A = this chain, B = another copy of it.
Amino acid sequence: MGYSIKTIAQKTGLSQYTLRYYEREGVLPEVSRDANGNRCFHDEDLELLSLIRCLKDTGMPIAEIKQFITLSREGREALSEQCKLLEAHKRQIEEKIQFFQSFAQKIDHKIAYFNSLEQEAKAEMK
């Protein structure tokens, strides 16, 4: 009835340490427990974890994710604020994409330049 921390670690790719840390820090809302006091994750937790990963891996700091999650507990009154947070983050992701694309180009030019130097060096060897 529900997933153990081990299972969730496997399913999410996060370590058990990290999962406990997230709960401690309020990044993940309190996970329910079984009769022995062991964590008992549910599908909603999995879903939330997937969103958390998405936010984290796109560069949102833990503290901000926590803020977002805290808003979740406030129900419908907080929805518009949550939306604002997500929208602001999405703009940041888009900026990063632009940034990365221009950097990929720059690196491309560097590679081309290095290759030309290499050709030159080979020509001199003859």
Contacts and interface: CB of A to CB of B under 8 A. Distances in A.
User: How many of these chains are in the complex?
Assistant: 2
A94 B101 CA distance: 8
Given A57-B99, A101-B97, A110 B80 contact: no
A89 to B, nearest CB: 7
Determine the interface band of chain A, counting residues with CB < 8 A from chain B.
Answer: 20 to 34
A97 B118 CA distance: 29
Nearest to A98: B97
B90 A94 contact: no
Contacts of A117: 76, 79
A54 interface: yes
A15 interface: no
A32 B72 CA distance: 55
B103 A100 contact: no
Interface string A81-117: 0110011011001101101110110111011001101
Given A101-B97, A104-B97, A82 B114 contact: yes
A106 B54 contact: yes
A18 interface: no
